[in-house]
A and B are shown apart, each in its own frame.
Chain A
């Protein structure tokens, strides 16, 4: 019995090693840095301080008293808001796309799914730069619409929340479509037929049968879009022009430009805590429902 226990341990040891090195260790380092003092030339000085967490909510007056400073909280709210809207838009766009693909003949489905993943073949940074050309004043959209009578600059969308949203939806849409497709693809569409036989019109079929059965895919897709877009920094930075800062760009800014590693680390930890809280709530809500993913 002893021996089987030991060999069982040895069996999973590589997994623990990988999780430890690539998962736990970096987080511990981050946690450590967030409780240190910033070195103005970059890096940290090895001294304890929780100043970074105070800085998140307060400013220090000349006489060292704390004044509430909502600027970072605003960034959090904007990030959560943009991420939520991004998730909703991805769901609204992604559902019909995934449904359409799932209803195609099998041979065509694989091709369409391949097409969905094609953007991944190019770097996100480059693809986001392309959006600058599309959204800028006299850019692709603006110029086209000028030719049908709109004034120049009417569709100068660059450096707006709209541009950031477009960029985010564009970046994360495949992460919504793929899990949705996975759950729709194995769904028994004869159930939709049964529902319409029982007097459900098209909308009721979608609402009563297809959506509930696609729920695991919807939840997975929403998580896969919401979590990364709350910490996104490429789209907010390039398309929001840094004016529309989000948590991701704030963290990036603290490490790369402001040289305040402890503060950057503290924001990262807070972001992570928030995401984990969201996951916990989700797990709680979903517990015990035991929904099968599809037909029988």
Chain B
């Protein structure tokens, strides 16, 4: 099956008079499958909105192609693309009621009156806003406006729905509820979602696949598990969750595994990923993948320098003998106590395969 949306070597440069040109997208290639919940994740300014605007047709690429179900859509203006957007700022029409807002796209498509009525009712029911059809957007709360914006974008049954940080203006509880809601809506409508966020938790909980972006480049594309567990580079490992970054040298390789020495008495076993003996490499190691033990012989040992209680777990900064420091996160005991205190001597356990070899 052809991908729903495909970006082929897309570049976008903004030229503003009196400013240096900004390279918002640099040679970006992506293929987004039919019915996929695909997330663009990256820090502010990395080009996420720009990519959506290129797909919607509000901007034109300086290089490359954008394909919709295999067709190049370069020549199509926004109103001819079967793609709808849920804008970050909602952009509801203030002079129309909620129902008129939702009906707008269908009316522009010249659908029969009866069909418009039905579709509007369905779309409002989908977002549980049936009771608000006669209201003006200014009479709604932020969360309700967000739902209406969603209903408006989905009512014409677009092939692809673009969502630009639609939850960022909502408070935490509402945001968490809306995550599940959006996921449900995507399943029920079967529409391909391209969802933009800078919130890694949002991306991990909702997406089928995630593209991690930084500075106009796609760093890694993969399922949430792969992105979290196997970040390909330091940027991804750092942006998604917390990581310890450890530099070391390969001392032994065998059967697809490698032994890496990061401190005199501290050896970590990982999958080799093409490393050869003697190579200088970097490892990413999640704090929750390290366990602390009694400082018995044979383990790398160190001292707890800091212990930060965060409810169900405690984060420790451990200084390992020989100079390097690692962050460790451990669940607390049943009574809620931390297992270790500042100044305790501890042993550090890293299971084989817990750390990731980073490229570059």
Contacts and interface: CB of A to CB of B under 8 A. Distances in A.
Given A198-B105, A199-B108, A200-B108, A188 B91 contact: yes
Interface in A167-217: 188, 190-191, 193-201, 204, 208-209, 212-213
Contacts of A296: 94, 137-138
A199 B91 contact: no
A197 B164 CA distance: 14
B134 interface: no
B152 interface: yes
Contacts of B58: 193, 197
Given A190-B89, A296-B138, A198 B94 contact: no
A295 interface: yes
Interface stretch (B79-87, B277-285, B349-357): B79-87
Nearest to B145: A296
* Interface core residue of B87, B95, B153 (most chain A CB under 10 Å): B95
A23 B261 CA distance: 93
A292 B138 contact: yes
A197 B56 CA distance: 7
Interface string B72-109: 00000111100111010101111100000000110011
Interface string A41-85: 000000000000000000000000000000000000000000000
Given A193-B78, A292-B138, A296-B138, A198 B152 contact: yes
B123 to A, nearest CB: 12
B94 A213 contact: yes
Contact of B78 (A188, A197, A204, A208): A197
A209 B93 contact: yes
A190 B91 contact: yes
Contacts of B77: 196, 201
Given A199-B105, A199-B108, A199-B109, A212 B91 contact: no
B95 A198 contact: no
A195 B85 CA distance: 10
B85 A291 contact: no
B156 interface: yes
Interface residues of A, number: 22
A198 B89 contact: no
Contacts of B104: 195, 198, 200, 208
A201 B89 CA distance: 22
A213 B92 CA distance: 12
A7 B307 CA distance: 67
Contacts of B95: 212-213, 291-292
B94 A197 contact: no
Interface string B294-327: 0000000000000000000000000000000000
A193 B91 contact: yes
A208 B93 CA distance: 10
Contacts of B83: 197
B85 to A, nearest CB: 5
Contacts of A209: 93
Contacts of B109: 199
Given A195-B104, A292-B138, A201 B79 contact: yes
Interface in B29-60: 56, 58
Contact of A292 (B79, B94, B152, B153): B94
Nearest to A295: B94
A194 B85 contact: yes
B182 to A, nearest CB: 19
Contacts of A200: 79, 104, 108
Interface in B128-157: 137-138, 152-153, 156
B76 to A, nearest CB: 11
B248 to A, nearest CB: 50
21 contacts: A188-B91, A191-B94, A194-B85, A194-B91, A194-B92, A197-B56, A197-B78, A198-B79, A198-B84, A198-B156, A199-B108, A200-B79, A201-B79, A212-B95, A213-B94, A291-B95, A292-B138, A294-B94, A295-B94, A296-B94, A296-B137
Interface of A: 188, 190-191, 193-201, 204, 208-209, 212-213, 291-292, 294-296
